[in-house]
Every structure is written in structure tokens, then in C-alpha cells.
């Protein structure tokens, strides 16, 4: 199944992504992998019993495209693995920005009890620049328990800085109200927010009344994120 992120400001420039037809379209995750204030999207393309594979998209101020890996091909990340493997990603502070870290490990002996399982694999540190990742460091490890810091893959550290979600979204001369229509609408919603420097003038508060929210101060950025950690 192919996914076109149409209905967004990109139109036909929107990337064409493959997706798992068994599970349909999942709402993308919003992250800031390099700490530059712009958002990247993690779009699920394959969902297994224990593992989800994500394509990573980057907005450069004019186009939305797939992040390029160190091998020159589309960059993707995996999360999950069940008992037999430990897969995931996280972000760590680096030189005033962020580094993107992936963990890929396999169980040394899947027949052991859960509390005695150990894993061997690789922890890779990437930096993202202009829509492409470069390998900064690679740390191999072996015989480590799941609680070892080298296996830490808490993706919550990749969310955008805390702040307000720009809801509802408004572009000049055209209103956009998210939260309706299921996952497809969520995809359009997130893509629109990532791509536009426009800001909502107001959003409903807990009491149902509308409260003022600040406009973006610079093109292509917006405060906060929608999801974990916001």
C-alpha cells in the first residue's frame, strides 16, 4: 500500500511511502532529531508482531522528503523486537543540539528466563544535517542486560521541546481544524503543522473558551509537539 501525504501544502511534491496494508495508516510521530527547532516525522511503514519500522521524513523549508542514510538510501529506524531482540532509538544532547541514537541487539540466549536475558549488538550515534544522517560513533557491546544504559532506547527524548501544540492550525485565508477523520486526517494535520510558519491565533482551553496563543517568530518552526512529552 502506498501512502501519499496529499491534502498538505506540498501537493504533488509530497513523498510516496510504502505502508503495511494489514494495519492501515498510522498517525506519524513528531520529533526533533537534531534539536534545530524543526520537526521530523516518523511514519510507520511496516508493523510486525513485536517490531515497527519507521520511515523518517524531514522538512527543509520548501519540501518534505525522506531522510537520507549514511549509505545514501532512505533512512529508517526500528522499535520493539520482543524477547529475541532489542530495537529502538533515542536522542541525546550534543553541542547545543541533539544526536540521534539507534540500538540494535539480539538476545544471546532466548531460552533464558526474562530476568536473565542478555543482549549483544550495536549502539550507533548519528547527526542529522540538511536531511541526511552521518555516523558519529558506533559502540558494539555484548552480554548486556536489558537494563544496561547501552540498551537505553527511550524515544521520549526525541520529542520537541515542551510547549503548546498549534491547534487549531490556520493558514492565511484558509482554516485547518485537526482531530477529525481518523489517521489520514492526523497525517495531514501533522504535515501541515510541520510545513507552515503560520500559527493558530487561538485554541480551546479546558473550560471550552478560546485562549490566545503566540504566533511563530521564525519561518518553519513552531513551539511544542503533539504527543508524549508535550
| Mean pLDDT value across residues 125-132 | 94
The Cα 63–Cα 20 span in angstroms is 24
Which are the contacts of 111, defined by CB distance < 8 A and separation ≥ 6? Answer: none
**The model's pTM:** 0.66
Strands 64-66 and 51-59: antiparallel
Strands (E), 71-223: 76-80, 85-94, 97-107, 118-129, 132-145, 169-171, 174-176, 202-204, 210-212
| Mean pLDDT value across residues 113-140 | 95
| Mean pLDDT value across residues 19-36 | 78
| Mean pLDDT value across residues 140-168 | 78
* C-alpha cell of residue 158: 526525541
| pLDDT one-digit tens code per residue, 80-101 | 999 999 999 999 999 889 999 9
10-128-187 Cα angle (round to 5) = 35
Amino acid at each position: 500500500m502506498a501512502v501519499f501525504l496529499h491534502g498538505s501544502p506540498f501537493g504533488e511534491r509530497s513523498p510516496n511511502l510504502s505502508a503495511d496494508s494489514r494495519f492501515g495508516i498510522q498517525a506519524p510521530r513528531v520529533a526533533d532529531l537534531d534539536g534545530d527547532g524543526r520537526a521530523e516525522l516518523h511514519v510507520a511503514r511496516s508493523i510486525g508482531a513485536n517490531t515497527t519500522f519507521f520511515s523518517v521524513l524531514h522538512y527543509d523549508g520548501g519540501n518534505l522528503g525522506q531522510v537520507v542514510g549514511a549509505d545514501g538510501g532512505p533512512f529508517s529506524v526500528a522499535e520493539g523486537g520482543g524477547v529475541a531482540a532489542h530495537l529502538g532509538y533515542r536522542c541525546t544532547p550534543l553541542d547545543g543540539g541533539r544526536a540521534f541514537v539507534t540500538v540494535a541487539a539480539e538476545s544471546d540466549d532466548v531460552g533464558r528466563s526474562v530476568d536473565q536475558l542478555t543482549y549483544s549488538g550495536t549502539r550507533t550515534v548519528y547527526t542529522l544535517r540538511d536531511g541526511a544522517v552521518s555516523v558519529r560513533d558506533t559502540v558494539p557491546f555484548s552480554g548486556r542486560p536489558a537494563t544496561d544504559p547501552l540498551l537505553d532506547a527511550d524515544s521520549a527524548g526525541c520529542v520537541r521541546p515542551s510547549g503548546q501544540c498549534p491547534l487549531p492550525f490556520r493558514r492565511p485565508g484558509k482554516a485547518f481544524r485537526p482531530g477529525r477523520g481518523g489517521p489520514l486526517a492526523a497525517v495531514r494535520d501533522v504535515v501541515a503543522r510541520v510545513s507552515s510558519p503560520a500559527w493558530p491565533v487561538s485554541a480551546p482551553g479546558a473550560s471550552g473558551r478560546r485562549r490566545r496563543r503566540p504566533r511563530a517568530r521564525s519561518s518553519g518552526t513552531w513551539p511544542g509537539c503533539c504527543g508524549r512529552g508535550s
